[in-house]
Amino acid sequence: MWIEELRLSAFRNYPELRLEMGRGGVLLLGRNAQGKTNIVEAIGLLSTGISHRESVARRMVAHGAEAAGVWGRVHRLDGSLSLEVEVQGGRKSLAVNGIECDRLEEFLGGLNSMVFHAADVELVAGEPSLRRRHLNEEIAKRRPRYLSDLTAYRRCLQQRNIALRRAKGSGRMPATAVAFGEELASLGERIIADRRAHVEALAQPAREIHRRLAGEDEELALGYLASAEPGCLADEIERAAADELERGVTLVGPHRDDLSVRVNDRSVRRHASRGQQKTAALAMKLAEATLDATDPAVPLLDDIMSELDGERRERLGEELSRFEQYFVTGTQKADVSCSVLDGADILTVEGGRVSRVGA
């Protein structure tokens, strides 16, 4: 899979932009705050319908404009398709091949991309909520039903917590909390099963990529830390009843689970250096980009290579060459590995204008 064409209209600092691209590496070079990350953001938006850096949609619209548009044509094994995101009045509309989508699930899957930026080290170094959110985003791109289950689970969890708060300290579980607990267990089992399957599929490719990036002396292991064994979530919720009534909140379920990330059997979050954490996060996300082996995702690496030592930079460049297309941003060529520079489509970005080197 690769992006054949990208168009931006009143998006961030781009009044208008049209880029045609082919297979291989695309290198975006320029000083900070010139618009490199805005291009990465736009491609990510076409992949998930969500910005990786902005929760308020209207901030993506260029100053003085009423609406912003991002359009892309994607080459896939099953043929080309177009994707479009329009932002107007703080609302986003999504379309596939010119047909507006009523639900996000209808939009997901057209373009699979993988954004990696400096803050992504928190995927392995930060709080469990960050890893749960990442799992949710990745699985939703591959299993549209998952998003429906997750939405229903969150709604059920909210209602159950309201019932528990009202009964807090009473010592008696209200009937509404019992009913919501049964629904929560049913939905939670499906969510946990999907997460387990995703992590199990991810573990081996992540281990192999990590070994190529970090060397033979370091071994990465991923695992899913679930609230309950398969088929046992309802029992665990029942066992937690007394504590839940005391605290007024649901204590068991996928909203409390975590992703285990270990190198040489030691927690990356607690014991790894910052460089090791970054390499582990990179390996995990690159592995996710390869999960569809017949049509891998498009990696988007935003200002990452400059933070790596020379050896790991070259190893990362070699790893990226396995993909049909990938994007790398940097401030200068010296920040980028030779393996990326050789044969890449090099674009310079300055003040919302993009030009090809040598063009």
How many residues are there in the chain? 359
**pLDDT for residue 16 is more than 70:** yes
pLDDT mean over 144-157: 94
The HSE-up count of residue 192 (CA atoms within 13 Å, CB side) is: 24
Instruction: Return the number of other C-beta atoms located less than 10 Å from residue 217's C-beta.
Output: 8
Distance CA 83, CA 220 (A): 36
Question: Two tokens at 106?
Answer: 């209808």
Q: Do residues 11 and 62 make contact, with C-beta atoms less than 8 angstroms apart?
A: yes
User: What SS3 string covers 290-351?
Assistant: CCCCCCCCEEEEECCHHHCCHHHHHHHHHHHCCCCEEEEEECCHHHCCHHHHCCCEEEEEEC
Distance CA 242, CA 238 (A): 9
The predicted-structure confidence for 163-199, as pLDDT tens digits, reads as follows 999 999 888 899 999 999 999 999 999 999 999 999 9
The predicted-structure confidence for 210-227, as pLDDT tens digits, reads as follows 999 998 899 999 999 999
Distance CA 325, CA 225 (A): 34
Question: Two tokens at 131?
Answer: 């890893």
**pLDDT for residue 55 is more than 80:** no
Torsions phi, psi of 329, nearest 5?
-110, 155
The predicted-structure confidence for 56-71, as pLDDT tens digits, reads as follows 888 999 999 999 999 9
pLDDT of residue 13: 95
Residue-wise burial string across 159-174, b where 16 or more C-beta atoms lie within 10 A, e elsewhere: bbbebbeebeeeeebe
Q: Helix, strand or coil for residue 92?
A: strand
Q: Do residues 237 and 252 make contact, with C-beta atoms less than 8 angstroms apart?
A: yes
C-alpha triplet 241, 247, 250: angle, nearest 5°: 55
The predicted-structure confidence for 314-326, as pLDDT tens digits, reads as follows 999 999 999 999 9
Residue-wise burial string across 7-31, b where 16 or more C-beta atoms lie within 10 A, e elsewhere: bbbbbbbbeebebebeebbbbbbbe
Distance CA 222, CA 193 (A): 16
Q: What is the percent of the chain with per-residue pLDDT over 90, rounded to a whole number?
A: 76
- Residue with structure tokens 């880029």? 19
Q: Are strands 345-350 and 24-29 parallel, antiparallel or unpaired?
A: parallel
pTM confidence score? 0.88
Kindly indicate whether the domain formed by 1-112+298-359 is annotated with CATH number 3.40.50.300: yes
- Residue with structure tokens 């291009």? 39
**pLDDT for residue 327 is more than 90:** yes
* DSSP per-residue string spanning 244-303: HHHHTS--SSGGG-EEEEEETTEEHHHH--HHHHHHHHHHHHHHHHTSSTTS--EEEEES
Q: Do residues 34 and 354 make contact, with C-beta atoms less than 8 angstroms apart?
A: no
